[in-house]
Amino acid sequence: MGSAALRVVLIASEMGPWAKTGGLADVMESLPPALRHLGIDLRLILPGYRQMLQAGIPAGSVHTGLHAWLGPQRLAFSVHRMRTETGIPIDLIEREDMFDRPNLYADSQGDYYDNAERFIFFCRALTVWLQTWDIVPHIVHCNDWHTGLVPVLLQSIPAFRSSATLFTIHNLGYPGLFDADKFALTGLDPNHHYRPDGLEFFGRWSMLKAGMFYSRAVSTVSPTYAREIQQPEYGRGFDGVLAARSASVFGILNGVDYGKWSPEKDPHIAANYSRKDLSGKSACKADLIRRCGLAADLHKQPVIGIVSRLDTQKGIDLILPILDQLMDDLHLGLIILGTGDKNLENRLAEASGSSRKRLAFIPQFDEVLSRQILAGADMLLVPSRYEPCGLTQLYAMQYATIPVVRATGGLNDTVVDVDADPANGWGFTFGRADPQDCLSAIERAAALYRRSPGEWQRIQQRGMAMDFSWDRSALAYQRLYRSLISDSTT
């Protein structure tokens, strides 16, 4: 089959820049143009969030009169057909009471109480919608738990027997886990599906498990995470299911859209710069220090940036016990942009209040500031306990900001330690999720920064030269899609 004939539907619950809580949105913004560039006939399906419908994307057409079951209720929905700037069609499954809300999944009091209903309905409605199409897609590519029911629902639709389903796990930490009483909403027969070899998961049931159990193949967003999740330490109880189908579990690294993440073109940073001429970075550092209200003398000291969700996954708490060493012994500056866990937010706010202007904590989600940190900091710290891929370290490298990361998941696949491989390395890594290990890596980085500005610059340039573009990832997805189709025709 020629690539022009490959028809793929990509389904997810986020898409940048409109509906974003994390890296899944970046993936859904940047992977589709790269797939289309390969000649793949692509269509996206997302929930009809307020954030998408009000984004000013012109609707091509609106389809009404559609219905899907949620348990015993037959509910109406509509589909808004839109196109991205580059012409890729997006179908938004719209039901006002479910998706017209201020946030995607939660409010200040926690997760929306009806997330099971919302995403079961999303899956059921989109499978109804798919059946109205004239042409059946070759590949239905689902992402994360919000889409997990799609592979099992499609199994019972004869027209879709020839389609292959791919389920991509972006984060095993979000299993879409619900109590038994919600299972009836799925419309699935409990005798067949509410079982350990099905959706049941330790007395409850999981939409993520549905995706990984019933899809033709499973992928995740880095080769290391693909191996890790088949082991108990990282598998969160799903390792058995994944290890049992090991031959169809793949790791495809995420990429970077260098058109969007480039210090040469970024309009939000104080000065543009490039690999050949890094001089603008110093103006970005001065601007960042001033903007964050930090001590001006930090300009001569290494400044560490962090841009992250504040979640146990990200290991930001590991720096709390070492803050005194970082600021008093190593004389570093530290700028943290992130929101999430309230307890951690409070502890960071308290620490920044007493840090003598060496630590700034900004509890916001702010893309412009995130870019200013990427450009103005000397290092970006990503101390994750686990990390399926991680994108900020890739963006940092492009902005000549040296990554200091825990060697896990995608961080392990994208950062090579300077001391372990002096001729090729472009970052600093540490092994255990432990404050002292994290401190040692930062100490090594700070020592090099002070010892040899020339060597520091060579490492910055090496990182900038690395190619983690989406084109590579898109080719890997294309190969996987083709192999799934040929499996189904043999």
Residues at the contact surface with ligand GLC, assessed by CB under 6 A? 22-24, 27, 170-171, 221, 254, 387-391, 410
CA distances from 145 to 152, 196, 323, 404, 463 (A): 13, 17, 36, 30, 33
- Are 343 and 371 contacting, i.e. CB atoms less than 8 angstroms apart? no
Per CB under 6 A, does 367 bind ligand ADP? yes
Strand partners, 218: 167, 249
Q: Give the CB-nearest residue to ligand ADP.
A: 23
CA distances from 409 to 130, 140, 370, 388, 428 (A): 34, 26, 23, 5, 15
Per CB under 6 A, does 392 bind ligand ADP? yes
Region binding ligand ADP by CB under 6 A among candidate stretches 39-47, 328-336, 345-353, 387-395: 387-395
- 176 touches which of ligand ADP, ligand GLC, none (CB within 5 to 8 A by kind)? none
- Of 22 and 190, which CB lies nearer to ligand ADP in the complex structure? 22
Of 166, 337, 360, 407, the residue at the interface with ligand ADP (CB under 6 A) is: 337
- 245 touches which of ligand ADP, ligand GLC, none (CB within 5 to 8 A by kind)? none
- Of 260 and 331, which CB lies nearer to ligand ADP in the complex structure? 260
Per CB under 6 A, does 105 bind ligand ADP? no
Residue 16 tokens read as: 């940048």
CB of 343 to ligand ADP, least distance (A): 17
Rounded CA gap, 444 and 428, in Å? Answer: 8
* Backbone φ/ψ region at 140: left (φ over 0), alpha (ψ -120 to 50), beta: beta
CB of 428 to ligand ADP, least distance (A): 18
CB of 78 to ligand ADP, least distance (A): 30
Burial tier of 483 (Cβ tally within 10 Å: 0-12, 13-18, 19+): middle
User: Which residues, other chains included, contact 257 with Cβ-Cβ below 8 Å and sequence gap of 6+?
Assistant: 26, 29, 30, 33, 469, 470
Of 168, 230, 308, 372, the residue at the interface with ligand ADP (CB under 6 A) is: 308
CB of 31 to ligand GLC, least distance (A): 9
Strand ranges (E), 233-356: 249-251, 303-310, 333-340
Tokens 């890594």 belong to which residue? 429
Dihedral angle of Cα 378, 23, 308, 205, to the nearest 10 degrees: -150
- 375 touches which of ligand ADP, ligand GLC, none (CB within 5 to 8 A by kind)? none
Dihedral angle of Cα 147, 151, 154, 160, to the nearest 10 degrees: 120
- Of 198 and 255, which CB lies nearer to ligand GLC in the complex structure? 255
CB of 75 to ligand GLC, least distance (A): 29
CB of 490 to ligand ADP, least distance (A): 36
> For the packed helices 435-451 and 453-465, what is the interaxial angle rounded to 10 degrees?
110
CB of 387 to ligand GLC, least distance (A): 5
- 221 touches which of ligand ADP, ligand GLC, none (CB within 5 to 8 A by kind)? ligand GLC
Of 33, 315, 390, 463, the residue at the interface with ligand ADP (CB under 6 A) is: 390
Task: Sketch the per residue contact string, 288 through 307, with ligand ADP: x for CB under 6 A, - otherwise.
Answer: -------------------x
User: For 158, how many CA atoms within 13 A lie in the half-sphere containing its CB?
Assistant: 0
- Of 163 and 313, which CB lies nearer to ligand ADP in the complex structure? 313
Residue 103 tokens read as: 């946030």
Of 22, 71, 89, 187, the residue at the interface with ligand ADP (CB under 6 A) is: 22
Of 41, 100, 239, 366, the residue at the interface with ligand ADP (CB under 6 A) is: 366
CB of 176 to ligand GLC, least distance (A): 14
Strand ranges (E), 390-464: 402-406, 428-430
The size of the interface with ligand ADP (CB under 6 A), counted in residues, is 17
- Of 142 and 316, which CB lies nearer to ligand ADP in the complex structure? 316
